[in-house]
Amino acid sequence: MQKLRLFFVRVAGFWSVEVKKQIKRYRIPYIQIMKKALLYGCLILLSSPLFARQNDLSPYIPKGYILLFQYTADLNADSLPDKIIVIGIDKSLGDAALKSIFSSDVNMQKRPVIILLGQPDHSYKRVTRNDNAIAQSLGTKDPFSSIKCETGSFIIEHTIDSPDQQCTIDSRFEWSAKQSDWYLKSYSQSCISAKPSLDPEDTGFKEKTPKNFGKIPFGKYKYPMAIDVDEWGQ
Kindly write down the DSSP assignment for every residue of 48-73, as one continuous string. Answer: SHHHHHHH--GGGSPTTEEEEEEEEE
Three-state DSSP class for residue 198: coil
Question: Residue 187 belongs to what H/E stretch?
Answer: strand 181-193
Give the per-residue pLDDT at 10: 56
* Distance, first Cα to last Cα, the chain: 52
- Sequential pLDDT tens for the chain (234 residues): 455 554 544 545 555 555 455 555 555 565 565 565 565 554 444 444 444 445 799 999 999 999 999 999 999 999 999 999 999 999 999 999 999 999 888 898 999 999 999 999 999 999 999 999 999 876 678 999 999 999 999 999 999 988 888 999 999 999 999 999 999 999 999 999 888 777 777 788 999 999 999 999 999 999 999 876 444 433
Contacting residues for 131 by C-beta, under 8 A, at least 6 apart:
110, 112, 113
Instruction: State pTM to two decimals.
Output: 0.74
